[in-house]
Every structure is written in structure tokens, then in C-alpha cells.
Homo-oligomer: A and B are copies of this chain.
């Protein structure tokens, strides 16, 4: 016996087009340590967009078929085709995380224990009506938690906790975060307030400052203010933050943070050193809201690092036991610290609508989409 259902697919073709389609597929029955989950809610995160629409130009989207088997196409600029060589002509399922009800379970005790429960899930292929996966990819929810509340229980919550854990493991004592009013940024504020960690929030707009102030954030700096350098340096000197997580990636922001960290460190130096302070300063780029080049004016000495940061390798590094500890905190606080808010609920076929694509394809949109695959 197999379970049939709809699954969203993303396909890059050699004629420089992207195709999104819905397909009727058969989901496997769970093996001993697996469960089959009826996917009831799955969010569109910025981190889903690379696989979902990649470098395609969403302004060129056109509907090829609608109705039962919808299919839309968009053009990929010729100069960006080499970014997608590795996925050419492969029809790929999409969706990093989601939540739903366990409708079938393998014979192991761990799998059986989840039967009938609402679980959060990670592991891709979530933009579908069902997902068969290992019990370790599930986060069981407490009685009374709805799938929509658990849909975003992995990517943002674990990233927020991962940032704090990275801070501790790499011997920093306070944090800086950019795009700080994002859903993730709000969670990070709640975690840092609860754990007594100073967090310097960098935002771009007045209304973002207000969102964070409403959460109780103490250090909020606006990167568009004339006094940005001075404000950031003051906040860094006061908090001693020497570790930043940057969601933008491109442009000068990462380098500006290093510059201000160095200026804060130099305030405490008694003697001139032509190589700069010996305070180690680190910025991790974990997103790419700005796809342009990263530009560093290296006026921050030699004691610094810039690097990429991703959740999956981080979780591998800390090991299963620690990862499960962090997951336990997420599950316990899913309605408070780690609550997500959505502005739009859509069906699977609505993911393919040009109007919705124009909106979620922006990355920096104010909208946050939740897909309900059985709607």
C-alpha cells in the first residue's frame, strides 16, 4: 500500500528556463525507523528560495498550464546559468521544513511513539502533501500544539540557538545581528534576553527599530543613520560584542562591523600597535539578502575573520546530543520564544501563481508565507 499526493517540483532546463510544477507522486511506506507525515503547514523561508526559484527572473513568470497539473515558467539570465549547472534537468522537490500529523510509522519503538502526533520536520521535500522521513528528522510537539504553530520549528529557531551556541563555543560574550527585525532576529532577541546575553541589533528602518524595542531589545542601531559608525562603535564598546552574524552578505556592512569592532577595541588600548588591536573579531555571513560582492576596507588590523555559516554543518559539528538539547528547548518554547507569524496562507498551487512569486521572490518582502498543502 502506498500513499499518493501532490508534490511541488522545481526544474532548471538547458533552454535557460525554470519550471515549477505540481506532480502526483507516490510516497513510500515508512521503514523501521521512519514515519510518514501528512504535511499540514510549511513556510517559505528566504533559505528555500535558492532551490525554489534560484537565479530565475520572477518578473518573467508565465503560466503554461493551470488547473489539475499546473506548470509555470520563468527565464534565467544567461550569465547566471553557471550557478545552476549542478541541477540541470533534474526535477527537484523543495521545502526545508514543515509540520504535520504522523499517519504511519515503522516498527521501531521510536517511530511507533510518534504515531498520531503532530511533529515539526526538517530535511527538504516539504512542499508536498506527505513526507516520509527518519524519526531523527522530526521534532515531536506537546499536546495541543497545532501544525501551523510547529511549521517553522527548525530553520529559524535552531539558527537563533546556533548563533548563541557558536558565541559560547568560540569564546565571545555578546552578539551582533543584521537584518535584526526579521522573524529570526526577533527570536534571537528573545533568546538573548532570556539568557542574559547582550545583542546589538542592526536594522535599516525606523519601524524595525520599533518592533525590536517592543520586544525589549536594548541595543538597536540603524545603518542608514548618519551616526551609524559612532552608534555601532558605542554599542560594541559597551557590550564587548566581537562576533556578528550577517544576513546580507553583500556590500560593505560586514566590513563596517569589523571596523567598528576594531574602533571599540582600540578605545581600550594604551599603546600604539601598527598591526591594530589583538582583539579577535569575527563576522559570519549566513545569508545573501544582498547578492552583490562583499567589500572590505581592511582598516581593522590583522586579528579578524570573515566566513560562511550554515546551520547543517554547525549541527553536525556540535553532535546529536547537543542538537537534541537545542531541539528540546525549541519544542518547549514553540508558542513563546520561537513563535512565528505569517501574513499569508496559501495552497500548494498558489505557490505557482505569478502574483505570489513576485511577492515571496523578493526575499526582503514584509510578507511571510505559510503553505497549507491540503487546502
Given contacts A285-B298, A293-B295, A313-B278, contact A86 B269 (CB under 8 A): yes
- Is B298 a contact of A293 with CB atoms below 8 Å? yes
Contact across chains for B301 and A308 when beta carbons are under 8 A apart: yes
* B249/A86 in contact, CB under 8 A: no
A308 contacts B302, CB within 8 Å? yes
Kindly state the separation between the CA atoms of A309 and B288 in the bound complex, as whole angstroms: 26
A283 → B minimal CB distance (Å) = 10
Among candidates B54, B288, B297, B302, residue contacting A293 with C-beta atoms closer than 8 Å: B297
Expressed in whole angstroms, the Cα–Cα distance for A312 and B288 within the complex equals 34
Q: Does A193 contact B (CB under 8 A)?
A: no
Tell me if A305 is interfacial: C-beta within 8 Å of chain B. Answer: yes
Please give the count of copies of this chain that the complex contains. Answer: 2
B295 close to A87 (CB less than 8 A) = no
Whether the pair A313, B306 counts as a contact (CB closer than 8 A) is no
Q: Does A194 reach chain B (CB closer than 8 Å)?
A: no
Q: Determine how close the nearest CB of chain B comes to the CB of A295; give it in whole angstroms.
A: 5
Is the Cβ of A302 less than 8 Å from the Cβ of B295?
A: no
Which size bracket describes the interface of A in this complex?
A: 35 or more
Contact yes or no, B272 A90, CB < 8 A: yes
Tell me the bound Cα distance from A309 to B305 in angstroms: 9
- Binary CB contact string for chain A from 284 to 321 against chain B (1 if under 8 A, 0 otherwise): 01101000011111110111111111101100000000
**A302→B296 contact, CB < 8 A:** no
CB distance from A269 to the nearest CB of B (A): 7
Q: Is the CB of B308 within 8 A of A304?
A: yes
- Beta-carbon contact of B50 and A274 below 8 Å: yes
**A354 contacts the other chain (Cβ, under 8 Å)?**
no
Q: Report yes or no: A298 in contact with B87, Cβ–Cβ below 8 A.
A: no
Is A1's beta carbon under 8 Å from chain B?
Answer: no
Q: How far, in whole Å, are A303 and B310 apart by their CA atoms in the complex?
A: 8
Which listed residue, B87, B272, B273, B293, touches A272 by the CB 8 Å rule?
Answer: B87
- Fill in one digit per residue for A243-267: 1 if any B CB lies within 8 Å of its CB, else 0: 0000001100001000000000010
The CA of A297 and the CA of B83, in the complex, are separated in Å by: 13
Q: Are B249 and A298 in contact (CB under 8 A)?
A: yes
Q: Is A339 an interface residue (CB 8 A)?
A: no
- Residue of B286, B295, B299, B308 near A83 (CB, 8 A) is B299
- Expressed in whole angstroms, the minimum distance between the Cβ of A76 and any Cβ of chain B is 14
A25 close to B (CB within 8 Å): no
Q: Which residue of B lies closest to A303 (CB)?
A: B308
Contacts of A358 in B (CB 8 A): none
Q: Given B274, B278, B285, B306, which contacts A307 in the complex, CB threshold below 8 Å?
A: B306
* 6 further contact pairs, Cβ within 8 A, besides A86-B269, A293-B296: A50-B274, A50-B275, A86-B272, A90-B272, A298-B308, A303-B313
Task: Show 24 A/B contacts (Cβ-Cβ < 8 Å), sorted by A.
Answer: A50-B274, A50-B275, A51-B274, A54-B274, A86-B273, A87-B272, A90-B272, A249-B298, A278-B313, A285-B298, A285-B302, A286-B302, A288-B298, A293-B295, A293-B298, A294-B298, A296-B296, A298-B308, A301-B308, A302-B308, A302-B310, A302-B313, A303-B310, A304-B308
